Structure 1
Amino acid sequence: MSKMPKPIYGGQAVIEGVMFGGKHTCVTAVRRKDQSIDYFHSPRKSNKVLTALKKIPFLRGIAAIIEASANGSRHLNFSSERFDLDPNEDYRLKEKKESKLTLILGIATIGVISFLFGKVLFTLLPVFLAELTRPVFSSDLSQILIEGLFKLLLLVGYIYAISHTPLIKRVFQYHGAEHKVINAYENNQELTIKAVQAQSRLHYRCGSSFILFTVVIGMFVYLLVPTDPLWVRIINRLALIPVVLGISFEVLQFTNKLCDVPVLRFLGYPGLWLQLLTTKEPADDQVEVAIASFKELLRAESEHNASANENKVV
């Protein structure tokens, strides 16, 4: 009898902590000022539209991005408020009364809007830079290649620059801790600091790989539309953002399936190389937080499943 496949878990780094998401819930663990670890739970609420979209190839990637951006922003908001607050002043958070509508629209929507704004800016800025070179590189092919080069340089340069700021450097360390925990779990290793630290800080399913794929896939998609005049190029780029995102998600899923195939696993290497910038080697106390978050997620998922099974019996 074949063994049941392990559930697939994902996560993201937050300020002084790590968030992990399962099928039914998401959990964030954050290191507080007094060195204690605090937790934030949020159930995965099914949205009928997003659930339907996630079953359709090339649309499921967009649905997943919207869901991840909305959900991740809530956990990032928790970590930014919680980690730096003295535990003796927790009452301040309790006194902050926000309506449910404000919570949903004020935090989740901001996360989605922020992603879209960044994507639009990241898409259009290389267009204008490439347009400046048109007197020298006038053909559509050369313009697309130059645009892709500018986009890649902006991406790598931006990540490299922010990775040297103290706050982002620590977030990238927690990002590495998140990957190490997932790798340990998927490699059937003990979830101890020593065993987790021995794992790689790189992972095929990382969102960093997805970002890089959008650059490469975009160049191929843009070959199908004109680059001149400029206003047509701008409209094309904006209109094709969902297309590029959808195809890039499918390519990421495809490379994930090939990560164990010796000859083909190199397809995911560019994304892993970018992770050398978006992750840093974590300290033991950061790995401890990541382990605590993941164990709490496993406990919450197990509790949910046990409760669901009891309800079925009744």
Structure 2
Amino acid sequence: MNIRGGRAGLNSVSFAGDNYYVISRLKKGQVVTKKKKIKKYENKLTSIIDGIPFVRSLSLMLRFLLTTWKVYLFGFLFIILSSLLFKGSRDPITTIIIQINDYIVLIFLVIGVGLVFKVTSIAKYHAAEHMVANAYVVDSDLTVDKVRVQPRTHNHCGTNLVVTILFLLAILHMFFGSTRWIYLGAWVVGYEIWRFEPKFIWTVILAISKTAQYILFTSPPSDKHIVVAMAAMQGLEKAELKND
């Protein structure tokens, strides 16, 4: 079975395969699992767009916006508020801050999201998602004990993309300053790097990403978090095998 992706929520874990998307939630002490068939035209459209270099990154951005619009709204409001705080100031220190403000705001935004993960249950479900995915690759017959021994970081976490984009932004910022086009450039090129994982740079990016995953975006899960993640993976496996 191909695992196309995973995601953690406040009380949920979801996994996507070739044909189905499955989400498991903890409701009133019970694990509730639902599946959704991925429509054929969605797969076909995705395949076409994924074959077009650089354009495919914009498709991913659109999917992110549609599925996680609340996070983007929070980030947008955070940036607007930060800009207003510095608006109109003329002292040298603030001028320097304004020049690096956009990039620094992005860094603090990532840290802020990590803190939200930490103070809620998302970090624990995120860790459980990673651990279950890691365990499934080793042995598809999942148990809590088998999952427990797995690392809570993952080689293909979306954090890798975030780190790649921030890394490119830092480089572009040094050469071109805080011009708006560097953000689009970092996203488009960063996506291609994230997709192909070139060895000359990926070792560094993965090391930074796993550190961020461990410190900011995951926390040690309890059995209930693992059980929810296992239910999502087992539900996906059942749906995908039945589809075959």
- Flag whether TM exceeds 0.5 (same fold): yes
1:56-205 equivalence runs, <5 A: 56-70=52-66, 73=67, 111-112=68-69, 114=70, 116-118=72-74, 120-121=76-77, 135=92, 143=99, 147-156=102-111, 158-165=112-119, 168=120, 170-188=121-139, 190-205=141-156
Q: What is the rounded CA distance, in whole Å, between the counterparts of 1:133 and 1:61 in structure 2?
A: 38
Task: Check whether the contact 1:54–1:64 (CA below 8 A) recurs between aligned residues.
Answer: no
Match of 2:226 among 268, 284, 287: 287
Match of 2:157 in 1: 206
Compared CA separation, residues 248 and 10, structure 1 to 2 (3 A) = same
What RMSD in Å do the two structures reach over aligned CA positions? 3.3
Compared CA separation, residues 280 and 292, structure 1 to 2 (3 A) = same
Q: What is the rounded CA distance, in whole Å, between the counterparts of 1:162 and 1:283 in structure 2?
A: 18
Task: Check whether the contact 1:11–1:178 (CA below 8 A) recurs between aligned residues.
Answer: yes
Q: What is the rounded CA distance, in whole Å, between the counterparts of 1:161 and 1:282 in structure 2?
A: 16
Match of 2:166 in 1: 215
Task: Check whether the contact 1:209–1:274 (CA below 8 A) recurs between aligned residues.
Answer: no
Compared CA separation, residues 281 and 69, structure 1 to 2 (3 A) = farther
Match of 1:14 in 2: 9
Q: What is the rounded CA distance, in whole Å, between the counterparts of 1:252 and 1:225 in structure 2?
A: 23
Deviations 1:202-239 (A, max 9, x none): 01211223223222222333456454xxxxx4xx2xx5
Is residue 2:34 matched to residue 1:40?
A: yes
Compared CA separation, residues 54 and 129, structure 1 to 2 (3 A) = farther
TM-score normalised by structure 1 residue count:
0.64
Aligned letter for 2:192?
E
Q: What is the rounded CA distance, in whole Å, between the counterparts of 2:187 and 2:75 in structure 1?
A: 10
Deviations 1:65-108 (A, max 9, x none): 433553xx4xxxxxxxxxxxxxxxxxxxxxxxxxxxxxxxxxxx
Q: What is the rounded CA distance, in whole Å, between the counterparts of 1:300 and 1:7 in structure 2?
A: 12
State the SS of the aligned residue for 1:200.
Answer: coil
Identity of aligned residues (%): 22
Structure having greater relative contact order (Cα 8 Å, sep ≥ 6): 2
Task: Check whether the contact 2:19–2:37 (CA below 8 A) recurs between aligned residues.
Answer: yes
Q: What is the rounded CA distance, in whole Å, between the counterparts of 2:128 and 2:218 in structure 1?
A: 8
How far off is 1:189 after superposition?
6.1
Q: What is the rounded CA distance, in whole Å, between the counterparts of 1:61 and 1:149 in structure 2?
A: 23
Q: What is the rounded CA distance, in whole Å, between the counterparts of 1:125 and 1:207 in structure 2?
A: 26
Compared CA separation, residues 199 and 240, structure 1 to 2 (3 A) = same
State the SS of the aligned residue for 2:92.
Answer: coil
Task: Check whether the contact 2:65–2:72 (CA below 8 A) recurs between aligned residues.
Answer: no
State the SS of the aligned residue for 1:281.
Answer: coil
Q: How many residue pairs end up in the alignment? A: 239
Task: Check whether the contact 1:190–1:196 (CA below 8 A) recurs between aligned residues.
Answer: no
How far off is 1:201 after superposition?
0.5
How far off is 1:51 after superposition?
4.0
State the SS of the aligned residue for 1:26.
Answer: strand
Unmatched runs of 5 consecutive residues or more in structure 1:
1-5, 74-110, 228-232, 306-314
Is residue 2:184 matched to residue 1:275?
A: no
Unmatched runs of 5 consecutive residues or more in structure 2:
none
State the SS of the aligned residue for 1:199.
Answer: coil
State the SS of the aligned residue for 1:205.
Answer: coil
Q: What is the rounded CA distance, in whole Å, between the counterparts of 2:191 and 2:84 in structure 1?
A: 26
1:292-311 equivalence runs, <5 A: 292-305=231-244
